[in-house]
Amino acid sequence: MQFYELREPDYSTDQLHNRANPIRMIEEYSVPGILCPVCTEETGGGWASSDRVRVDIPDDTLLQPVLSGQSLPPAEWKKVRDRIRTELNVPAYMRITPGAAIGLPRAELLQPDVQQIVHPFPGQLIVRDTVVYALEQARLTGFQPVPVIAEWGMKAQRLVAEDPPLLYELCISGHAWRVGFDEERITTCHMCGRKLFPDPHWLEVDQNRWDGSDFFTVDMNPNIVLVTDRVCHILADAGFGNYRCVPIATS
């Protein structure tokens, strides 16, 4: 099976990148950081994952002061993580990790022209409703579209009269491991669960440990999205722009 990395195109300048992806994500809350006695020194005072926990945070939740609050020692942190999982009904596939963004996706759109696929951050896919429709029609798996609460930025607002387009964040629920890697091997600290992703450009998937999803991450790294050729075909057939499907080398 040939897999592909779904990523942004190669823009020749930062300006072109910004023009193609005129979006600023607004993260109001985050999972508290962890004060790990083992690796705080090594990481220079804590670390934060780039996971995104896309659940609604009700105004009346008792967790609200904890989110974006102070970093916590490991035992206390694990209690808070378990409370977040239960009280906010976080689906099993969403990892709750120190410093992860939490809450529904919110975005400011900086230009009136918003492409079908937008890349605010590596591995983060914000798409128009037409893309979600095409993926769902084709019964592709391994993603959950979560509606983005979008508003125009000041400059864009002066140029358009209509409401912002319907946008979704594609939360990736599929998972696989790279050949030779497992949770034990990538966990660098057992006290706080800090993980590494060695050889980031080497993405060979162990097909026996791929859950069969069309969209998936590898080795619990949210910054890289891999897809099947079905995804590449659907996106290409629909004529969507502003992405690349880069074939993964296999040995």
- Record the tokens describing residue 96, joined without a space: 């709750």
Q: Which of 25, 39, 48, 66 binds Zn ion (CB under 5 A)?
A: 39
Binding of Zn ion by 231 (CB under 5 A): no
Nearest approach in angstroms of CB 37 to Zn ion is 8
> In the complex with Zn ion, which residue's Cβ is closer, 25 or 39?
39
Distance CA 126, CA 147 (A): 9
**Is the separation of the CB atoms in 135 and 143 below 8 Å?**
yes
Indicate the angle between helix axes 129-137 and 229-238, nearest 10 degrees. Answer: 130
Q: Determine the 3-state secondary structure of 41 from DSSP.
A: helix
Nearest approach in angstroms of CB 86 to Zn ion is 24
CB neighbours of residue 206 within 10 Å: 14
Within 13 A of 38's CA, how many CA atoms are on the CB side?
A: 8
> In the complex with Zn ion, which residue's Cβ is closer, 105 or 193?
193
Nearest approach in angstroms of CB 190 to Zn ion is 8
According to CB under 5 A, which residues from 188 to 227 bind Zn ion? Answer: 189, 191-192, 194
Kindly state the number of chain residues that form the binding site for Zn ion, as judged by CB under 5 A.
7
Nearest approach in angstroms of CB 88 to Zn ion is 25
Nearest approach in angstroms of CB 71 to Zn ion is 12
> In the complex with Zn ion, which residue's Cβ is closer, 45 or 180?
45
- List 151's β-bridge partners, or say none: 108
Instruction: Please report which helix (H) or strand (E) contains residue 80, including its range.
Output: helix 74-87
> In the complex with Zn ion, which residue's Cβ is closer, 43 or 157?
43
Q: Which residues contact 45 (CB under 8 A, 6 or more apart)?
A: none
Fill in the amino acid letter for 71: S
> In the complex with Zn ion, which residue's Cβ is closer, 39 or 146?
39
One DSSP character per residue, 239-251 reads: T--S-EEEEPP--
Q: What's the chain's length in residues?
A: 251
> In the complex with Zn ion, which residue's Cβ is closer, 91 or 198?
198
Stretch that binds Zn ion, among 63-71, 81-89, 162-170, 185-193 (CB under 5 A): 185-193
Q: Which of 25, 35, 38, 104 binds Zn ion (CB under 5 A)?
A: 38
- Record the tokens describing residue 71, joined without a space: 């970093």
Chain residues that interact with Zn ion, rule: CB under 5 A: 36, 38-39, 189, 191-192, 194
